């Protein structure tokens, strides 16, 4: 089942979402921040934004901090959903 990280009400109201969906581009493990027609992928192994566009600085610190405070949970969810491409995998 797709995982949606519950964000504080103000961020939800502003349209922010943080998700791991059942079908994602698998490499590397990542979480997706969504707002309206834009999306930002964040690498779960490194914590870095994966794409230069849209501009990562457009994501408010509150979203990034909330996501980082639930990092272990997000990593666990990824492993549950993508056991064939787990977080700890160097092949």
| Site of interaction with another protein (CB under 8 A) | 1-2, 14, 17, 19, 21-27, 32, 34-39, 51-54, 58-60, 79-85, 91
Please state, in angstroms and rounded to a whole number, the distance separating the CA atoms of residues 65 and 19.
15
Q: How far is the CB of 69 from another protein (least distance, A)?
A: 20
Q: How far is the CB of 68 from another protein (least distance, A)?
A: 18
Distances (CA, A) of 29 to 10, 12, 36, 47: 28, 24, 23, 10
Q: How far is the CB of 74 from another protein (least distance, A)?
A: 14
């Amino acid at each position: 089942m797709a995982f949606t990280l519950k964000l504080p009400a103000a961020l939800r109201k502003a349209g922010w979402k943080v998700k791991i969906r059942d079908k994602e581009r698998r490499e590397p493990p990542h979480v997706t921040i969504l707002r309206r027609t834009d999306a930002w992928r964040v690498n779960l192994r490194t914590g870095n934004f994966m794409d230069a566009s849209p501009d990562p600085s457009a994501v408010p610190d509150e979203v990034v901090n909330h996501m980082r405070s639930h990092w272990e949970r997000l990593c666990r969810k990824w492993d549950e959903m993508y056991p064939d491409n787990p977080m700890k995998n160097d092949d």
